[in-house]
Amino acid sequence: MTKADLVEKISDKIGLTKKQTELVVNTILDCITNALAIGNKVELRGFGSFRVRRRNPRLGRNPKSGAKVEVPAKQVPFFKTGKELREMVDGKKSS
């Protein structure tokens, strides 16, 4: 599902125009992005939580040459599924 598909489904379900729905979806995604950018956690109960994890520096390899390369430490976004979503995906709970 793409963002456009999501906007269309939400628009059909709640009766807003696609433009209004796109604004809502973009605002939600911007809020999540901004919270993660400043190091905050975003929790959507039943769905999951977004947070930032730190990856330590490590030694990697250049896939073309095979040469060893130092990969610096960095912050990466991480999503952990909520119990309800995990159960639905696993087929233990029907909607």
pLDDT digits (tens, 9 = 90+) for 21-59: 999 999 999 999 999 999 999 999 989 999 999 999 999
Same domain, 57 and 95: yes
How many domains does the chain fold into?
A: 2
The domain of 33 spans 1-40
The mean of the pLDDT values for the chain is 94
Give the pLDDT mean for 87-95: 77
Residue by residue, DSSP assigns 22-71 as HHHHHHHHHHHHHHHHTT--EEETTTEEEEEEEEPPEEEE-TTT--EEEE
70 phi-psi bin (left φ>0, alpha ψ -120 to 50, beta other) = beta
More confident residue, 93 or 52: 52
Tens-digit pLDDT profile for residues 8-21: 999 999 999 999 99
Instruction: Give residue 92's pLDDT.
Output: 73
Same domain, 94 and 78: yes
Same domain, 47 and 20: no
CATH assignment of the domain containing 88: 4.10.520.10
Distance CA 75, CA 92 (A): 34
Distance CA 67, CA 19 (A): 49
Distance CA 22, CA 46 (A): 23
CB neighbour list of residue 3: distance below 8 Å, 6 or more residues apart? 25
Q: At 72, is the secondary structure helix, strand, or coil?
A: coil
